[in-house]
């Protein structure tokens, strides 16, 4: 999945308009324009499409954490220069204050089953022997389950 795919799905799930997206970036002490947000939300084949970098996506997710959980005093967390699906998954877990059981319930909403052991492997450090890479299918199913759980009016 591209950062733009994740960006669009989060926007849709929480029904954020452009101003709200800009506010989320601001919560991570980062200023973006409406034009940037609009370009990131366009489809890949659209002429105005612009790729959302890993750093910009990390900043957005940090802002989402601040939005959902409250901003910690002091300097903001440094955004990652390189993102993986595992990092995106972990940041969404933190932002929504989810426990393993909550994630398993969200996955069940889209008929996707994971054991606690499989799930915990995604949140381990890459050097850990039980670390497992989060594939696109897992992240896509989690985002679809989030949409079912959090999207109002669906």
User: In the chain, what are the domain boundaries?
Assistant: 3-69, 85-150
* Residues, the chain: 154
Note the pLDDT of residue 154. 58
pTM: 0.94
- Residue 82 makes CB contacts below 8 A (sequence gap 6+) with 54
Q: Give the lowest-confidence range in 18-27, 46-55, 74-83, 85-94.
A: 74-83
Q: Is the pLDDT score of 153 beyond 80?
A: no
Note the pLDDT of residue 152. 77
The percentage of residues in the chain with a pLDDT greater than 70, rounded to a whole number, is 99
Note the pLDDT of residue 73. 84
- CA dist 88 and 61 (Å) reads 8
Query: Which residue from 89, 76, 68, 73 is spatially nearest to 136, judged by alpha carbons?
Result: 89
Tokens 């915990």 correspond to: 120
Note the pLDDT of residue 72. 85
pLDDT in tens, 118-138: 999 999 999 999 999 999 999
pLDDT in tens, 77-104: 899 999 999 999 999 999 999 999 999 9
Structure-derived torsion over alpha carbons of residues 122, 147, 113, 94, reported in degrees to the nearest 10: 30
Note the pLDDT of residue 123. 96
């Amino acid at each position: 999945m591209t950062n733009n795919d994740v960006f669009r799905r989060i926007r849709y799930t929480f029904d954020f308009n452009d101003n709200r997206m800009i506010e989320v970036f601001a919560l991570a002490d980062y200023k973006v324009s409406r034009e940037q947000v609009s370009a990131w939300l366009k489809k890949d084949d659209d002429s105005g499409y612009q790729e959302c970098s890993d750093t910009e996506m990390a900043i957005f997710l940090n802002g989402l954490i601040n939005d959902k959980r409250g901003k910690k005093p002091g300097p903001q967390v440094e955004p990652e220069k390189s993102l993986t699906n595992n990092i995106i998954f972990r940041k969404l877990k933190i932002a929504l204050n989810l426990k393993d059981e909550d994630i398993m319930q969200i996955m069940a909403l889209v008929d996707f089953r994971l054991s606690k052991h499989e799930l915990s492997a995604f949140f381990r450090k890459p050097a850990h022997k039980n670390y497992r890479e989060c594939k696109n299918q897992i992240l896509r199913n989690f985002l679809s389950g989030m949409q079912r759980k959090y999207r109002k009016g669906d």
